[in-house]
A and B are shown apart, each in its own frame.
Chain A
Amino acid sequence: MLKAINISKSFPGVKALNEVNLTFYPSKVNAILGENGAGKSTLLKILTGVYTDYEGEILLNGQPVKFKSIKDAQQAGIAIIHQELNLIPALNIVENLFLGQEIRNNWGLLDTPKMTQITKELLAKLELNVSPNTLVQNLKVGEQQLIEIAKALLADAQVILMDEPTSALSDKEIENLHRIIAGLKKEGKTIVYISHKMDELFKIAETYTVMRDGNSIDAGEMSQTTEQDLIRKMVGREVLIQKKQGNTNITKDLLSIRNFTLPHPTLKNRNLLDNISFNLKEGEILGIFGLMGAGRTELLETIFGLNVTKVQGTISIDNREVSIKSPKDAIKHGMAFVTEDRKTEGLVLGMNVASNISLTTLPENSLLNEKSEKQLAKDYISTLAIKTPSAQQLCVNLSGGNQQKVVLAKWLATNPRILMLDEPTRGIDINAKNEIYEIIKKLASEGKSIIIVSSEIPELLALADRILVMSEGKLKAEFSADEANEDKLLKAAI
């Protein structure tokens, strides 16, 4: 049993944790819920020895422990599987597993046969049917995650912390992971599970702790609570996601994609996009649903001019065929693209809020107009309710939800006719999510056309007038808002 008693931790100007109390039980999946900024990451960092200066006490099996380093925590049997995996892509599974704890033979050289043998056993246990010599870069995300779990097992960890382990997995991979977690539970391991996905928590978790603003708000048995109840505790108020009524006023076609085909870069008889055609109407919110790898992101990227040399097919706007050879062309034709990963594709993190917002609209070959940049930033900080001390704040210091709003702002600044959103609410908290939903609805009511790609069905049901379903690069189905429901969408996507 891992128990945290009255843990407090402050950063300059912020109290990240305020007398937090938590108990994690062996043979159980212990869920931690909370919005971004609730203090979950800070707590994990204390439990794994990253932060060593904190107040309060940690008890491991009744014994007080104080970890002085990450290694210290590992030796005590605590392992963490991060949201972003910590593997080295160019090394193989064996090399990754034994990194830093290689087994040597009597000559002091690597005992590869022995390490390979142990790896084989671990892979078999995790039902991962690949050769131990496979390079990690050739594994799927779900498989890579299992390698992380294998690492924890190799270290004989008793407590395994998982930080949003399923955020990048397909349904099948999630199912597999859940099965493996059930196995670990049987062996008496303590699993700590952080996730934003409610349905998943109700499926696998036994206990929960809700955190909010650095406090532990409530704890109990999953079987004694409901989704609405948990959400209310997380945000401190009731949130209802309502299903959207179909909007019948929209009739005029704006964008029309015809016969988009994009060959797979390495596999010969596969296409990333396979003969895709659809229309987008003026003022319409078009949802695109599909599992990971269905080709949703590739579709948006291709429309935005990223795969010019490889793609076949045509794009028309206002019934006129247009040639879009780069993001620059796309922007000229009134498109905007809020990318999936705000950190690597959306923002220049080392630049401030104002510079990021103005990046899409700076006049070319010209002097900067600091005044108008500041005004632009000020406008969007107030209309989108971006929480930042000032427009001069570096984006790296903002929370996920606010970073996403900055990305949104920089694209709204171009005054686009077509706004493409790729997983616009991934990894941001429920409050920020709802704010972004409101913004999207408002934009559509102002006549903007919106394409939204999402893995979260409730999100699409709440927003979209029409939903397309993609699978393996093909358009599989189309539903109006009235016909669509969770079952139909999932069935079409699999």
Chain B
Amino acid sequence: MNKELLKKSQSLIALFVLCLAISILSDKFLTANNLWNVLRQISVNVCISVGMTLVVLTAGIDLSVGSVLAFTSAVCAGLLTKGIAIEPFDLLIGFTTLGGILAALLIGLLIGIFNGWVITRFSLPPFVVTLAMLTIARGATMLYTEGMPISNLGASFEFIGSGWLIGIPVPVWISLVVVAIVVFISKKTTFGRYIYAIGGNEKAAFLSGININNIKLAVYGIAGMMAAVGGVLVSSRLNSAQPNAGTSYELDSIAAVVIGGTSLSGGIGSVTGTVIGATIIGVLNNGLVLLNVSPFWQQVVKGLVILLAVIIDQKSKKK
């Protein structure tokens, strides 16, 4: 417990130092406008990454989240604009904003469960299975959208990505709720305990009577659904679903998990750590833009920060 706290305070300090440095270098950083902007931007990664955290805690990985984000946002947009046409009956099912969103979340959940099913049923490495899903879901997105953006998704949908509620951007509300729910699940429920146990020692967990496969199905399902939440946020912000949305988001998400102190070998880490990790990445991105650093250099810097985080993590483990 203390170790976890220490780790979290380490990354919190890193975040604080980062904010301090940027605010000294740029007077635009500490403006309300900019800070809300940062929080709005990271909300997508936060949602994806908390799902990813659960997967990584079981010693798994989900590389398909970026593609699932694109697919679910495309389907959501398609349902909102075109609905489902059942031609033989000359029937058209239209979707309300809520209906479209729920459909997207359901699809994300199902894709995730499918990932989990393949992984557990055939005892395959999660890396390979979700890598395949990365390609499949991206291809499906292209097929569904015919490679074109789907736009004009309606004012109420746009509100989700761009609106404000009680002085706080709606996406920030959503990510807060998502984080609260997943933190609760991971720390206060039997399911959450099982996730840690499976990642810590799968054999011991199995022998203790835990149904490993069901837990994994659920974990990958949640990760898929969180990707869909990200998909809704992204497309509502742009009021348009882009077929290439979410490309390489899985990497940002894994980076957030790792920077947040979750071990890729499972069993150790926390959702709150991941939130801090995602915030560090978001602030870093923002700071580099404010400082007019070229986008190419931004990538290099981001990679170096990930390396640094892992090195520090490793060092503190040895102590």
Contacts and interface: CB of A to CB of B under 8 A. Distances in A.
Nearest to A344: B203
Given A331-B209, A339-B207, A360-B209, A347 B189 contact: no
Contact of B207 (A327, A350, A365): A327
Interface in B130-189: 188-189
A362 interface: yes
Given A364-B190, A366-B190, A368-B193, A348 B205 contact: yes
A267 interface: no
Interface residues of A, number: 29
Contacts of B1: 352, 392
A88 interface: no
Contacts of B204: 344-348, 359
Contacts of B209: 326-328, 330-331, 360
A109 interface: no
B206 interface: yes
Contacts of B191: 365
Contacts of A365: 189-191
A62 interface: no
B201 A344 contact: yes
A360 B194 CA distance: 10
B123 interface: no
B198 to A, nearest CB: 9
A99 interface: no
A362 B188 CA distance: 12
A348 B200 contact: yes
A160 B201 CA distance: 34
Interface in B252-271: 267-268
A436 interface: no
B196 interface: yes
A306 to B, nearest CB: 8
B267 A350 contact: yes
Interface string A319-354: 000000011101100000101000011111111100
Q: Which of B193, B204, B208 lies at the interface centre, i.e. has the most chain A CB atoms within 10 A of its CB? A: B208
6 tightest Cβ-Cβ pairs between the two chains A and B: A348-B200, A328-B209, A331-B209, A348-B201, A362-B190, A350-B200
Interface of B: 1, 188-194, 196-197, 200-201, 203-211, 267-268
Given A367-B189, A392-B1, 17 more contacts: A304-B207, A326-B211, A327-B206, A344-B203, A345-B201, A345-B203, A348-B205, A349-B200, A349-B201, A352-B1, A355-B196, A355-B197, A359-B208, A359-B210, A362-B190, A367-B190, A368-B192
